[in-house]
Amino acid sequence: MKLIWKEMLLAAMMGLVLPGAMLGIAATVETPETIIEITTGVPTEATQAPIEKRSITVPILAGGQVVQMELDEYLTGVVLGEMPASFEEEALKAQAVVARTYTMRAQHRGGRHDAAAVCTDSTCCQSYISPSDYLAAGGTQNSVDRIRNAVLATSGQVLTYEGDLIEATYFSCSGGVTEDAAAVWGADYPYLKSVSSPGEEKAAHYTDTVVFTASQFESALGRDLSGTPSGWFGVTTYTTGGGVATMEIGGEVYQGTDLRTMLGLRSTAFMVSADLNSVTITTKGFGHRVGMSQYGADAMAVLGSTYAQILAHYYQGTSLTTLEN
């Protein structure tokens, strides 16, 4: 799921360029995982209290080598890389649970790497920065402590659906509404549906505008278009989450997901205006917009939602469970 911290501090050092883990969708055939369910839906207050630290190690591909890392120590680095430490404590906890779920699903089902569950490359799996590198880059010990405490307060906790670890996708900012997984990846997950995500206006990329000259736009599409830009655009259809499903350009129909890639847009939620010489595109949100919005999670936490309530909102019908050792 990429963020203020990486934009302002880590991007130059680590080359992190995405707003959140852009997570691949696995096969829809589910295999039961080794877990114990402790609650269904929104957990009770008792299940939200800090729980005993779980001793779990996972193989991580870092710097070209596979290393065994203690899960919660690895997750501390993930949350440091994925979410600003200034976010509310309950949002940090929600991020820790989602990142743990993603990691353990990859561990159980096989991720993108033969000998490792996940890697530390943000363009492939999840962002990661060690506490020492975080401090060397100008971060504070207080920030490290806040995030480590959020990870340990949720130690062992993951999200499941009907007994299986979920596809725990997340991203930076939705622009107000998240997206169905089917609209982005073509795979339908009952817990990855479009939901409202208010309060994200403080996000750096809540909206963005990019202007293309006529020739730049044609080059991005890889074709020559007749006439002027004002006459290029035809019928547009939209997804449940407000993204562009299809758009007719120069007599050809494009998928919104393809246009996002070809035009380098922040998201598929965009509007187009054109005149005689240029095309202006305004996007809402940053990322694939499926699963948990990180800025939306923080907005919910500001209003008093617990991490369990945040997770229940973005992954509806899931259960907060705890892993066995």
Mean pLDDT of successive 10-residue stretches along the chain, which has 325 residues = 40 35 34 30 40 72 88 96 97 98 88 81 89 96 97 97 96 97 96 98 96 98 97 97 98 98 98 97 97 98 98 98 81
**Amino acid at residue number 141:** Q
Q: What is the pLDDT of residue 27?
A: 29
How far the first Cα of the chain sits from its last, in Å, is 27
Structure tokens at 208: 């963005």
The Cα 150–Cα 267 span in angstroms is 29
DSSP 198: -
Cβ neighbourhood burial of 303 (10 Å; 0-12, 13-18, 19+): exposed
Q: What is the pLDDT of residue 56?
A: 85
Nearest partner of 7 among 295, 309, 303, judged by Cα = 295
Structure tokens at 190: 């009952």
- Any idea how long the chain is? 325
Residue pair 141/80 in contact by the 8 Å Cβ criterion = no
Q: What is the pLDDT of residue 37?
A: 32
Nearest partner of 152 among 54, 44, 80, judged by Cα = 54
